[in-house]
């Protein structure tokens, strides 16, 4: 099996994150967190980007058009056509030192996103929040430092998430009909491996792919919580993978860039959007936010 890795698109980021494939538009959305920029990569050409005016943690396609975004000030709807940003809810308005980080949409169109404190000592103050299509929010698992790794099993009955600071991934039973979850249980730890778990994606076989931040690699973990394989990357700090392309066989990977890595000369692709092919896995169409 021959792995091929190349840069795609023309944009580069300081803190590239949150890639998500839009199956309806056949484009990839991703963000540059501290630049507050939303990027759209079209494999056929015509990449574009927008400024949202604040730290931007993640985004997801919206079934009614545009995208839902999670920022330092909560959840918003963003319209790329007009540039309008409309606030929905700010569940942590009383915690000005936290911001939203990683996110994912569940099978019924609910948008999940996690928070973290990025000023001073992070501390276990982060939580995972569920945004329902009607605009209501519900607090999920809490007490994490760097919330990350949100993903769902192919049948939607399991939710995954991680805490990069604790180098641990958890799983919990999930009811896609109600959005309720069970008690989180440890799923996998990277403490004996290079890198810490960051953003993630689940393939059609139910395996969980996580970016190993600081480890120069992607890790594929079986549904049983066993390391299946590792793919070496040309960047030290990958942040999140996402399956995309017409056949959902390309793994797009975001990463940290200038100002976030020590030596750009050693990794000239740091901060760019990477496309990884030849790994033999295939993704699943990701649902859009239903609100």
Asked whether residue 148 is marked as a ligand-binding residue, the answer is yes
Contact residues for 161 (Cβ-Cβ < 8 A; gap 6+): 114, 128, 141, 144, 147, 148, 149, 150, 151, 169, 170, 184
Q: Is 177 helix (H, G, I), strand (E, B) or coil?
A: coil
Contact residues for 64 (Cβ-Cβ < 8 A; gap 6+): 291
Look-up of token digits 């990839």: 28
Asked whether residue 99 is marked as a ligand-binding residue, the answer is yes
Asked whether residue 54 is marked as a ligand-binding residue, the answer is no
| Bridge partner residues of 128 (DSSP) | 114
At 257, list the tokens.
Answer: 């860039």
Asked whether residue 4 is marked as a ligand-binding residue, the answer is no
Q: Which residues are catalytic?
A: 198
Report the alpha-carbon distance of residue 18 to residue 172 in Å, rounded. Answer: 22
Residue 201: alpha-carbon gap to chain centroid: 8
Q: Please, are residues 77 and 86 in contact by the beta-carbon 8 Å criterion?
A: yes
Q: Please, are residues 7 and 272 in contact by the beta-carbon 8 Å criterion?
A: yes
Asked whether residue 17 is marked as a ligand-binding residue, the answer is yes
Q: Which residues are annotated as a binding site for a divalent metal cation?
A: 17, 148, 198
């Amino acid at each position: 099996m021959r792995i091929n890795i190349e840069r795609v698109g023309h944009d580069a980021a300081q803190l590239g994150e949150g890639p998500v494939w839009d199956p309806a538009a056949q484009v990839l959305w991703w963000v540059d967190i501290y630049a507050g920029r939303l990027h759209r990569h079209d494999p056929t050409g015509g990449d574009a980007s927008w400024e949202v005016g604040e730290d931007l943690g993640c985004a997801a396609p919206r079934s009614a058009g545009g995208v839902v975004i999670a920022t330092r000030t909560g959840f918003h709807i963003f319209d790329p056509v007009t540039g309008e940003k409309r606030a929905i809810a700010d569940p942590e308005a009383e915690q000005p030192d936290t911001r939203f980080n990683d996110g994912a949409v569940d099978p019924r169109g609910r948008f999940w996103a996690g928070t973290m404190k990025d000023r001073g000592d992070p501390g276990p103050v982060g939580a995972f929040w569920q945004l329902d299509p009607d605009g209501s929010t519900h607090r999920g698992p809490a007490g994490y430092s760097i919330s990350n790794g949100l993903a769902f099993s192919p049948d939607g009955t399991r939710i995954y998430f991680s805490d990069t600071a604790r180098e641990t991934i958890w799983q919990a039973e999930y009811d896609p009909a109600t959005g309720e979850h069970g008690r989180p249980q440890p799923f996998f730890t990277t403490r004996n491996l290079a890198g810490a778990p960051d953003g993630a994606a689940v393939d059609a076989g139910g395996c969980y792919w996580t970016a190993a931040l600081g480890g120069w690699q992607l890790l594929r973990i079986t549904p049983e919580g066993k390391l299946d394989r590792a793919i070496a990357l040309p960047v030290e700090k990958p942040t999140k993978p996402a399956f995309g392309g017409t056949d959902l066989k390309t793994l797009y990977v975001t990463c940290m860039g200038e100002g976030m890595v020590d030596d750009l000369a050693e990794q000239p692709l740091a901060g760019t959007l990477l496309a990884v092919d030849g790994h033999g896995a295939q993704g699943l169409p990701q649902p859009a936010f239903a609100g």
